Structure 1
């Protein structure tokens, strides 16, 4: 890994990285967000007992849409032609939901920011849809879990 910040030019000014000479490779990234909530809230999420409707389906769609729009949200991200985005929401305890967003493409730049954006927005959507019954929900541990492909190769959080 380089210790050079690629989004800064030789004068320290922010710029979009030129990827025109990079090779096209298959790239995949998975990011995670954890939501901590009251057990009664989680039960309502699972059973579909919230006033705004199907919370899990809405959060999945929001995460997919967010991943596709990452370059509109983060100024120096390249617009990407994602070939696959999945958002999985798993119960990991009586108080916790895990959001996993995986993005894939064949391209010249990675999809880490798209996966992180998808996981974050899916988590925020879950908060929005549940806040009427639990304003104390905490979104935590938003992080990249793994990436594959590209010049820097494969990486996983367990290797760090």
Structure 2
């Protein structure tokens, strides 16, 4: 029988420090969909406003979604979008003063923002068979991590 060892990392003895993480990701969309986002013509509403709100909510709830993440105080979240011809890029910056970093929170925020965009535009992205041959979420990654001692 195989033994399974799962536990949170013990951060009890660590000192608090200022921490920042920035994550980004992209979603490829049809040009027509991008134009509807720009013009505010998506049937479900303001795609970027909803995706930004979803990202912030996800950052704050990361510890409830990822089993071994510590609950930490989130002191700042910023979500920005870059809308290009055939893709939308999200960048999520998260800050805390804590014993552990905020990389997972930034990654979760970026992921949920992109999933929210997909959900809001899926009716525009489907082909005649109801598939998504063009739509793709990719390149979700941490682009910056900073730790400063207090």
Same fold (TM over 0.5): yes
Question: 2:66 maps to what in 1?
Answer: 74
Distance 2:59 2:38 in 1: 24
Give me the CA root mean square deviation.
1.4
TM-score after normalising by structure 2: 0.89
- How far is the alpha carbon of 1:46 from its aligned partner? 1.2
> 66, 73, 76: which one pairs with 1:84?
76
Q: Which residue of 2 aligns with 1:49?
A: 41
Aligned partner of 1:102 among 85, 90, 93: 93
Given candidates 25, 36, 40, the residue that maps to 1:33 is 25
User: Does the CA contact (< 8 Å) of 1:109 and 1:150 recur in 2?
Assistant: no
CA displacement at 1:111 relative to structure 2: 0.1
Structure 2 gap segments, 5+ residues each: 127-131
Aligned residues: 140
Partner Cα separation in structure 2 for residue 33 and residue 90 of structure 1: 11
Matches of 1:139 and 1:77 in 2, distance apart?
24
Please list every run of 5 or more consecutive structure 1 residues that lacks an aligned counterpart in the other structure.
1-10, 152-160
Q: Secondary structure at the match of 1:104?
A: strand
Q: In 2, Cα distance between the equivalents of 1:146 and 1:65?
A: 21
Q: Tell me the distance in 2 between the aligned counterparts of 1:94 and 1:55.
A: 16
Q: Is the contact between residue 28 and residue 148 of structure 1 (CA under 8 Å) also seen in structure 2?
A: yes
Is 1:140 the counterpart of 2:131? The answer is no
Aligned to 2:5: 13
Quote the residue 2:129 is aligned against. none
* 1:149 equivalenced with 2:147 (yes/no): yes
